[in-house]
Structure 1
Amino acid sequence: MPFEVVLLIFMVVIALPWMVMHYMTKWKTAATITSDDEVLLEELYNLAKRLDERMDTVERLVASDDPSFSPVKRLMADQETDNQQLRELEQLIAEKKGSKV
């Protein structure tokens, strides 16, 4: 058998399935979020909540000193639409913590 035929058979039988399987596993692992990413996201969420509480405090202090002060429109903890999204996020975090235990 000529070398080209052997090479062609090798490429079709061995190399092609190996490449397909290799990249399939790469795609599957790249599409998932790691546990380190989840921890980082939870820390960022908690930091954002603390910063939001600090902003509320600063705005209250400034408003008490200057009656003409009006806060900038942002997500407010006392608005029902924002609270619903926050509750959903906190529920997902609680479920995730419950499944890890």
Structure 2
Amino acid sequence: MPEGAFVVAVAFLTIVAPIWIIFHYVTKWRIAKTLSADDEKMLADLWHSAAQMEDRIRSLEKILDAEAPGWRAKAP
């Protein structure tokens, strides 16, 4: 292999390749920081489910308060 090709190969491996790899992973990390459309939908569904469960718990607490007034004292 001629000396010129060797110098170019060494320069590529020591300068260009590491910078290329760093920029590649920086781009991947920036993309990973944002939520995808599926993640946003799942988060919205979880938020809706949590609100429904909160309403159900409030309803159950009202029923228990009416039917068994001392139930809160009995709970551990």
Deviations 1:46-70 (CA, angstroms, capped at 9, x unpaired): 1000000000111111111112233
Q: Report the CA distance between 1:22 and its aligned residue.
A: 0.7
How far, CA to CA, are the matches of 2:62 and 2:4 in structure 1?
A: 85
Q: Report the CA distance between 1:27 and its aligned residue.
A: 1.1
If each structure's helix is expressed as a fraction of its own residues, which one has the higher value?
2
Q: TM-score, normalised by structure 1?
A: 0.60
Q: Larger Rg: 1 or 2?
A: 2
What are the ranges of 5 or more consecutive residues in structure 2 without an aligned counterpart?
none
Are positions 1:69 and 2:71 aligned together? yes
Q: TM-score, normalised by structure 2?
A: 0.77
What are the ranges of 5 or more consecutive residues in structure 1 without an aligned counterpart?
73-101
SS at match of 1:58: helix
How far, CA to CA, are the matches of 2:29 and 2:55 in structure 1?
A: 40
How far, CA to CA, are the matches of 1:22 and 1:64 in structure 2?
A: 62
Q: Report the CA distance between 1:3 and its aligned residue.
A: 6.6
* 1:58 aligned residue: 60
* 1:42 aligned residue: 44
Identity %: 29
How far, CA to CA, are the matches of 2:61 and 2:42 in structure 1?
A: 28
How far, CA to CA, are the matches of 1:66 and 1:10 in structure 2?
A: 78
Q: Report the CA distance between 1:11 and its aligned residue.
A: 1.3
Larger RCO: 1 or 2 (CA < 8 Å, sep 6+) = 1
* 1:94 aligned residue: none
Letter in 2 for 1:31: K
Letter in 2 for 1:21: F
